[in-house]
Chains A and B, each alone.
Chain A
Amino acid sequence: MSAETVLIRLNGREVSAPVGQPLAQVLTAVDPALRFSPKDKAPRGMFCGMGLCFECMVEVDGLRRRSCLTPVSAGMVVRTGEGAA
């Protein structure tokens, strides 16, 4: 890919990512577990990739978002691991 690479902040750490790529793609490469299930606290990752299962929910600049639908942009602040025990 020829896309320009930018820096995002992932759980307090700087990570470089191609601008415009689905955030889920970048996060999954770091760790495919994006959050934990509500009761079992089991790790979960992206599943449907099209915005309908909500397994890829993360926090982006303070708003809960589906990372499979969120394009990477410079300086976004991302927090994964929702629901951790």
Chain B
Amino acid sequence: MTMAADLLSCDVAVIGAGPAGLAAAKEAAAAGADVLCLDLYDRPGGQYAMQPGDPSGPLAASEAARLGRDLAEAARAAGVRLLSRAELFWAAPEGEGFLLYAALDGGAGALAVRARAVVVAAGAMERPLPFPGWTLPGVIGAGAAQRLVKSGGALPFGGKVVLAGTGAFLMAVASTFAKAGRRIDHFVERQPLRPLSSLTMLAPWPSRWSAAAGLLADLRRTGAQQHHGHAVTRALGRDRLEAVEIAPVDALGRPDLSRAERIGGVGALCIGYGFQPVIDATTALGADHAHNPALGGWHCLARPDSGETSRPGLYAAGETCGIGGMRPALVSGRIAGLSAAARVLGRTPDPGLMRSLAAELAKARRFAVSLAAHWPAPEAPPVPLPEAEVICRCEDVRLSDIRAAVQAGAAETFAVKMWTRAGMGPCQGRVCGAALAAALAEAGVPPGQAGYNRAHLPLRPVPMNAVHAALARTARPDTPGTGPA
């Protein structure tokens, strides 16, 4: 089937319509640039500010939903062209500017964009850590559960709901359940209850006290039985999840399997061990990245006072530059949008404004850092894995395959991929990346040295006719050091 693609041009293209992307797009347009903002989802908002499926339901009135609506409205009013259901699948430099390629409506259409500057605000995704049974239908990310509830409905699995993992985000998910009037049966947090250190952590941030108290109250409202200092050690079932095993963990986070207990009749295990930045677009464009566990691992490096990456004209904002949540996302988005507009319009951004925004960003990031220190995301799977456990879900690669490759000398993520196919499937290593890094770390290769999965065309599994249609609108794009796999 042949397809015709549109070709658009703009001064500034923004990838992502979450808090960071919308803030960037609005600032750039208000400064006088012609701005196009692309987002994969049906409606702008991204994750935190996702718009609920039911516009008259209880979640529509939440602060988060309101933020998303306000940001999108402000962006539109400033003249931003907001394009939903548009997924970037490749990007390449062209002279001083950039070529971007997107699939429309899941591949039913295609688009090429010529932009003079680009802001990538692609957000974060969960950082999945495997455990025995994690591939069973019914095991989903904690964020997936939150999105399902926001989309408007009960979790569709039947049976009990178990919310597990670690971090402030688990409480945010519980809060969404409570606000939507949905129950949770068990809440399993790896950290023990630490009222004193929680108070110490929050003491310097009075503006967050009421939100923290609200989260605790919401967790109680879900009706969940709470298991602090426990971790999920196994998901059990034949063709779908049926039961979950949990065990107490010691001070080092190791579960005591001899004290494991079983929760039966479970339909959904919603599990989250933290987030990782989405960096496929910035790696495809060849920007510099660095590894820092406190920021979710590999993240794009951007100057805090301008948002510019190592590639001139390419800016990054929000979670793509390291996990920090909504507030740093908003401020870094404004910074990147102002800088990108200034570049294409040949101006210098107001130095006083940029200084104060940079200070605001530093403050917002400080809170994020103290939260991350309070709930450190585990680097390695929380339970010892059996050799036969599947690590790469796309290609059914087992832990034994990966260990064999590492033993035979594969000393970086890319080599393991070539050897075992782990990370070669449609998810391009987004799901198995953390587990691969852990397997390499176990063999003595630190994550910073193991590297990240290199982006290849298409970044997302888009139908080939859409890929061809979009690429055919421009001269063949350069592929900086990556190229089709």
**Which chain A residues have a beta carbon within 8 Å of chain B's beta carbons?**
1-3, 18, 20-22, 24-26, 28-29, 32-34, 37-40, 42-55, 57, 63-66, 68-71
Contacts and interface: CB of A to CB of B under 8 A. Distances in A.
Given A33-B239, A34-B137, A69-B41, A50 B144 contact: yes
B141 A49 contact: yes
Contacts, number: 133
Interface of B: prevailing SS: loop
A41 B148 CA distance: 26
A50 to B, nearest CB: 6
B374 interface: no
A3 B126 contact: no
Nearest to A32: B137
Contacts of A45: 136-138, 140, 240
B144 A46 contact: yes
A21 B106 contact: no
B86 to A, nearest CB: 12
Contacts of A70: 106
Contact of B427 (A25, A28, A53, A69): A53
B143 A47 contact: no
A42 B56 CA distance: 40
B49 interface: no
A33 B139 CA distance: 11
Contacts of A21: 53, 151-153
- For chain A, what secondary structure do more than half of its interface residues adopt (helix, strand, loop), or is it mixed? loop
B57 interface: yes
B430 A18 contact: no
B152 A44 contact: no
10 contacts: A18-B152, A22-B151, A32-B138, A43-B239, A45-B136, A48-B125, A50-B47, A53-B393, A54-B426, A54-B427
A33 B240 contact: yes
B135 A28 contact: no
Contact of A2 (B42, B54, B148): B54
Given A25-B151, A51-B41, 12 more contacts: A2-B54, A3-B152, A24-B156, A25-B156, A26-B156, A28-B137, A44-B135, A44-B137, A47-B144, A54-B394, A65-B106, A69-B106
8 closest Cβ pairs, A-B complex: A49-B144, A45-B137, A32-B137, A39-B396, A29-B156, A28-B156, A54-B426, A33-B137
Interface string B413-429: 00000000000011100
A40 B151 contact: no
B26 interface: no
Contact of A42 (B135, B141, B430): B135
A19 to B, nearest CB: 10
Contacts of A53: 393, 427, 430-431
B240 A47 contact: no
Nearest to A42: B135
B468 to A, nearest CB: 16
Contacts of B94: none
Max count, chain A CB within 10 A of own CB: residue among B47, B57, B106:
B106
A28 B147 CA distance: 14
A70 B87 CA distance: 13
A29 to B, nearest CB: 4
A38 B148 CA distance: 26
Contacts of B136: 43, 45
Contacts of A46: 137, 140, 144
A51 B135 CA distance: 17
A79 to B, nearest CB: 15
Contacts of A68: 144, 147
A43 B394 contact: no
Contacts of B157: 28-29, 32
A38 B139 contact: no
Interface string B104-132: 00111000000000000000011010000
A25 B148 contact: yes
Interface in B129-178: 135-141, 143-145, 147-148, 151-153, 156-158
B396 A40 contact: yes
Given A21-B53, A49-B147, A71 B42 contact: yes
